[in-house]
């Protein structure tokens, strides 16, 4: 299998068996028949599950095709992130994390500090985390593109610098997905993601995963999952695997529409700080184009409106977009990110996740909502409809 579409449709499927389903249903089991010694592929429900196994194999085929990479799935993206950090770092170690990453990273930094781990942070853009590396660094954590600011760093450059100092490298690949970026091919030791977002794409599953090429590292992450019990339910794992079949279709449609939306917003006078890595004028474009695959720059567009009130009016005026958190789903969502706290963004900052709607309809709805928010149009106009 060479094409992304072929790979996503076939990833992780078992060998064909007469009269059996092509993708077996979820296996609900807390325990298994276990005669004799406690050995074998499935012994207890916290250790393994056949439904996880198929999904893990599928993700490995996407994150690192043609290798013996191993994936460990978790009950959430934060479960996966925590597993890497807490399985690899010990008292006296140092770690470098992004200062502009996902908003729960600071909570983990506080926890790591309590365990005696020295944590330094630096922004994602312009490879600023290079300046924080030293000979004590055990782990470098990258998030590229970053959430929500959409900054990008050069994974290969940073990985080479970290490895030269004896440090491991983990990359949060949530926004890019394995179709848009393969961190392991760029030198990372861990590819980590929240499967809640674009990987599954329907807003109905909480999931996370870690993929490694080094079986020792994968084993340490797997042991952490078993110890803390951060295991996914079989139904969630099955839903995630089912959703992978449409990943390429969704990612390509959403990336193309996100770029079209960003281009449509460039000349809006009320918008500042417009970001999307696919825009040729974006500060991150050159680096992103060098490491993100197939022109897939993600489904997220961010921008800032003049103030909280204008942002709230804009969100309320949207008709084809849900005011909701998260990103990567087939239905477009947008939110005023500052409502959560924890992100260094202005009160009018909008994180917009482009779905699979018709591009013309979605863009028309956004432009109309901007007009309504600025008082230039009535809120009674219907959204555009496809012919």
| Catalytic (active-site) positions | 46, 102, 172, 197
Spatial distance between the Cα atoms of 331 and 115, rounded to a whole number of angstroms: 41
Contact 76, 206 (CB under 8 A): yes
| Contact (Cβ atoms closer than 8 angstroms) between residue 302 and residue 145 | no
Nearest to 350 by CA among 334, 365, 367: 334
Query: What is the rounded CA–CA span in Å between residue 277 and residue 292?
Result: 10
């Amino acid at each position: 299998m060479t094409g992304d579409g072929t790979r996503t449709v076939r990833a992780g499927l078992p060998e064909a068996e007469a009269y059996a389903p092509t993708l077996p249903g979820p296996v609900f089991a807390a325990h298994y028949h276990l005669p004799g010694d406690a050995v074998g592929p499935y012994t207890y429900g916290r250790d393994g599950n056949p439904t996880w196994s198929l999904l893990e194999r599928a993700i490995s085929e996407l994150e690192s095709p043609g290798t013996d990479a191993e994936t460990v799935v978790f009950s959430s993206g934060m479960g996966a992130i925590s597993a890497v950090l807490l399985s690899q770092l010990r008292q006296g170690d140092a770690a470098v994390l992004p200062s502009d990453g996902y908003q729960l990273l600071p909570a983990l930094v506080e926890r790591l500090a309590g365990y005696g781990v020295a944590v330094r942070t630096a922004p994602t853009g312009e490879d600023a985390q290079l300046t924080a590396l030293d000979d004590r660094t055990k782990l470098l954590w990258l998030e590229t593109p970053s959430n929500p600011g959409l900054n990008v760093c050069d994974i290969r450059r940073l990985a080479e610098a970290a490895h030269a100092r004896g440090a491991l490298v983990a990359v949060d690949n949530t926004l890019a997905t394995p179709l848009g970026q393969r961190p392991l091919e760029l030198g990372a030791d861990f590819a980590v993601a929240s499967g809640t977002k674009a990987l599954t794409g329907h807003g109905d599953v909480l999931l996370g995963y870690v993929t490694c090429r080094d079986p020792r590292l994968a084993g340490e992450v797997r042991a952490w999952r078993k110890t803390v019990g951060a295991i996914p339910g079989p139904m969630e794992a099955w839903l995630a695997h089912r959703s992978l079949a449409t990943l390429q279709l969704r990612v390509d449609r959403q990336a193309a529409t996100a770029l079209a939306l960003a281009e449509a917003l460039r000349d809006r006078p009320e918008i500042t700080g417009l970001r999307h890595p696919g825009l040729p004028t974006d500060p991150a474009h050159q680096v992103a184009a060098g490491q993100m695959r197939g022109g897939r720059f993600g489904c997220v567009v961010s921008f800032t409106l003049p103030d909280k009130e204008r942002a709230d009016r804009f969100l309320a005026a949207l008709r084809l977009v849900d005011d909701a958190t998260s990103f990567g789903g087939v239905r477009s969502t947008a939110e005023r990110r500052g409502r959560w706290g924890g992100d260094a963004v202005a009160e009018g900052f909008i994180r917009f996740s482009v779905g699979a709607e018709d591009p013309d309809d979605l863009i028309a709805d956004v432009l109309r909502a901007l007009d309504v928010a600025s008082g230039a149009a009535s809120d009674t106009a219907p959204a555009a409809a496809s012919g």
